[in-house]
């Protein structure tokens, strides 16, 4: 017989409690990080978000069309930036400089957040590796204590060895250098 799910929201029935807790933790962490942004970072993020939308493209299409229509004499308004549109060129160049700076500011902040998450992933991975190695050694000890014959599986013996991350990184670097030399 399955436990009753009466009164439990449907979205909670789909996931285990620990997953729900992890989701809440991640969301809370993102909210906290967002609140800790400086005013300049908020401004850069807002400009980057706006300039990355189609509204930004539509705005520029209209702006350029109106600018060209006025300055090519297609409207009753007096042209103020005749061909080759030096003022328009300067404005667009300045806009590109500022937009690229705002995008870089946002990207630097996002990169720092990604580095922080990668460090957390590495820490959890290292902890998991350590715990699993300890569990394998404990299982071996239990087998020995109970007199259970332990087959000498080479792969299992390898898994029971402590892994030093610096050794793994050194080997990865060595192999990458070897690949680079061969190319």
pLDDT tens digits, residue range 121-167? Answer: 888 888 898 899 899 889 888 988 998 887 777 777 777 777 778 88
CB atoms within 10 A of CB 59: 13
In a domain, 77, yes or no: no
**Cα dihedral angle (63, 66, 70, 72), rounded to 10 degrees?**
90
In a domain, 2, yes or no: no
Q: What is the 3-state secondary structure (H, E, C) of the chain?
A: CCCCCCCCCHHHHCCCHHHHHHHHHHHHHHHHHHHCCCHHHHHHHHHHHHHCCHHHHHHHHHHHHHHHHHHCCCCCCCCCCCCCCHHHHHHHHHHHHHHHHHHHHHHHHHHHHHHHHHHHHHHHHHHHHHHHHHHHHHHHHHHHHHCCCCCCCHHHHHHCCCCCHHHHHHHHHHHHHHHHHHC
In a domain, 5, yes or no: no
The model scores a pTM over 0.85: no
How many domains are contained in the chain? 1
In a domain, 67, yes or no: no
In angstroms, the CA 51 to CA 60 distance is 10
In a domain, 61, yes or no: no
Please say whether the beta carbons of 136 and 163 come within 8 A.
Answer: no
In a domain, 75, yes or no: no
In a domain, 178, yes or no: yes
In angstroms, the CA 54 to CA 51 distance is 8
Give pLDDT tens digits along the chain (183 positions): 444 555 556 555 677 888 888 889 889 988 998 899 999 999 999 999 999 999 999 999 999 999 999 999 999 999 999 999 999 999 999 999 999 999 999 999 899 889 988 988 888 888 898 899 899 889 888 988 998 887 777 777 777 777 778 888 888 888 999 988 888
Give CA separation, 7 vs 4, 14, 19, in Å. 9, 14, 19
Domain that holds residue 100: 12-51+84-182
In a domain, 3, yes or no: no
Provide the pLDDT for residue 2.
Answer: 46
């Amino acid at each position: 017989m399955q436990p009753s799910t009466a009164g439990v929201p449907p979205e909670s029935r789909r996931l285990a409690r620990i997953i729900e807790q992890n989701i809440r933790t991640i969301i809370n962490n993102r909210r906290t990080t967002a609140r800790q942004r400086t005013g300049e970072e908020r401004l850069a993020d807002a400009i980057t978000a706006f300039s990355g939308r189609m509204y930004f493209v539509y705005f520029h299409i209209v702006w350029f069309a109106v600018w060209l229509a006025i300055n090519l004499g297609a409207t009753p308004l007096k042209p103020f930036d005749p061909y080759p549109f030096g003022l328009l060129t300067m404005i667009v160049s300045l806009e590109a400089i500022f937009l690229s700076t705002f995008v870089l500011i946002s990207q630097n902040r996002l990169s720092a957040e990604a580095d922080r998450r990668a460090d957390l992933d590495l820490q959890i991975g290292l902890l998991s590796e350590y715990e699993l190695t300890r569990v394998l050694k404990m299982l071996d000890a239990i087998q020995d204590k109970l007199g259970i014959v332990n087959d000498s599986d080479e792969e299992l013996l390898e898994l029971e060895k402590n892994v030093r991350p610096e050794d793994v990184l050194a080997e990865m670097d060595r192999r990458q250098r070897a690949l680079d030399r061969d190319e």
